[in-house]
Chain A
Amino acid sequence: MRHRAAYFAFDRFPSGKGSAVHIAQMADELFERSGGGLLGVLGGGGLPGYQREGAREIVRFEEQIPNLIDRAEAYSAWAAALLREHVESLEIVHVRDPWSALPALTAEDRDYKVVFEVNGLPSIEMGHTWPWASPATLGKIRELERFCLDRCDAVVVPSRVIGDAVRRLGTAAEKVHLVPNGADLPGETARPAGAPDRYVVYVGALQPWQGIDVLLRAFARLGDLADLRLVICSSVPERRAKPVRRLAERLGVADRLDWRFALPHPEVAAWLAHAAVSVAPLTGCARNLDQGCAPLKVIESMAAGVPVVASDLPAVRELMADGEHGRLVPADRPAELARAVRILLEYPGEAAAMGARARARVAGGLTWTRSRARLAEVYRTIAPSDR
């Protein structure tokens, strides 16, 4: 099978994480434009190693290599071999991380354009996930980022904050294109089975920068609202929740929590739609401030028409306005977070109006359709399809 386009991501696909929704949208746009394509992603967890869907081929990297860098190196070599097979026919290769970008950019005889999608900078983010990595080691990762940013034909970022971070690394401004995240407006959803009467919802992964500890401390301050429960729709498996559960027990809120793990994406929409408030308590750390982020949970909550209480970070301000679509509160301040949630609960009329305005905001400018049109524009700029 000959492909004109390929998309590579060092991420399992599909999965319950926000990143998978993003990959699905971006790769779908690329493959629709190119009449099919090759998708190279991580496998495991019972996913098939190879799939063919019409003119699309999905190939999954399945080596179980414990050390992250060893695994990334083997993945890069795997991607390089796949690219070699298709080097003559490829016109666009879209990569989602430096481990995919390196083989795409260094392939011999490449005639294709490389679009580098930067959702985060490992040199910043890995300092959080791998605290034992020395500054010198992270510096080497920064060199890799610079190398990939210099050589690629276009950089796609989901938020202005990430765009600024990329420009600070020396990337030419005209190469950087903003393609914001989006959400599809869900229709009427049935109340999820087992949903409490009144609940606050958190949707997402459980890394320290998500600020779930702040949320739990805030929730402890709402103890007088006896009927209020906190639903955590975790996108990661149950054993990752251990530290959060321990903290909940220590704060005495464990019995007011409802956990759901790795729900399929459509079910999450129902949990959001029936919540009183959705929270995005992102912390004010380097990962969220310097690197930037584009929290899908905020956009998806807005699309579901539920008022959001989120941390007042530049990346969040790009998506919603305080008092209009929900409330923005200072990051890492449980008392402020609790107060904002309490006020929204006390004024359900105003909260519903905020939810409705948030939904209208998504409908007017934050849909996947719009994001995909922007991405298509990037492809057209670098690789006119009449080649």
Chain B
Amino acid sequence: MTRCTVTTGFFLLGRCGRAAVAACPGCGRPVCAEHAVQGGYCPSCAAQAGGPPDPHDPSFASAYRRRYYESSSQTYYDNQWYSSFDSYDRGAFNPGDDYSYGEGDFGPDDGTGFVDS
């Protein structure tokens, strides 16, 4: 039996493990009935698509249009702080610089938060 491999859990993560009913057309992983979103997509792929993944779905065009107009007309305009940070300020936070410790070796297996107790 193929088992559903969708990641579940809040703090301690595991695999779902229920019997799979479909393979996600996006990433190919087996998905159970509980986790299969419309069209058999896994929750990650469905969320990435940001709406009904099927372009033949009647709501697809309007959802896409709305999303596009929203995102293109509203940029995150921050005149509060980030714009005050110029290239000199930012230059101190490049990874791999000799003395940088915290984020110094930025990589996929590192936690990237800045506060640790």
**Residues of chain A whose beta carbon lies under 8 Å from any beta carbon of chain B:** 9-12, 14-22, 24, 28, 42, 44-45, 47-53, 56, 58-59, 64, 66-73, 76-77, 80-81, 84, 96-97, 102-103, 106, 119-120, 122, 125-126, 128-134, 136-137, 140, 143-144, 147, 158, 181, 204-205, 207-208, 235-237, 239-240, 264-265, 293-297
Contact = CB atoms under 8 A, between A and B. Distances in A.
Contacts of A119: 115, 117
A308 B75 CA distance: 51
Given A49-B48, A67-B94, A239-B105, A9 B113 contact: yes
Contact of A52 (B12, B43, B99): B43
A42 B116 contact: no
B112 A47 contact: no
Contacts of B71: 81
Nearest to A120: B115
B111 A12 contact: yes
Nearest to A61: B112
A17 B9 contact: no
A17 B76 contact: no
Given A56-B10, A207-B116, A293-B117, A68 B103 contact: yes
A150 B103 CA distance: 28
Closest 10 CB pairs of A and B: A11-B113, A129-B102, A50-B47, A77-B76, A68-B93, A133-B92, A120-B115, A24-B11, A132-B92, A137-B89
**Most chain A CB neighbours (cut-off 10 Å) among B92, B108, B116:** B116
Contacts of B99: 131-132
B62 interface: no
Contacts of A143: 81, 84
Given A120-B115, A293-B117, A53 B9 contact: yes
A58 B6 CA distance: 13
13 contacts: A10-B112, A15-B111, A19-B116, A48-B43, A51-B43, A67-B90, A76-B76, A97-B115, A128-B101, A129-B103, A130-B102, A134-B92, A265-B12
Contacts of A97: 113-115
Interface of A is mostly: mixed
Interface of B: 6-13, 43-44, 46-48, 71, 74, 76, 78, 80-82, 84-85, 88-97, 99-106, 108-117
Contacts of B12: 14, 264-265
B7 A47 contact: yes
A222 to B, nearest CB: 27
Contacts of B106: 66
Contacts of B74: 84
Given A69-B89, A129-B101, A132-B100, A24 B115 contact: no
A60 B85 CA distance: 25
A294 B114 CA distance: 15
Contacts of B116: 17-19, 204-205, 207, 235
A262 to B, nearest CB: 9
A239 B109 CA distance: 10
Contacts of B78: 73, 76-77, 102, 106
Nearest to A15: B111
B81 A102 contact: yes
Contact of B117 (A53, A77, A134, A294): A294
Contacts of A204: 116
Contact of A125 (B43, B108, B114): B114
Contacts of A72: 82
Contacts of B93: 67-69, 130, 133
Contacts of A84: 74
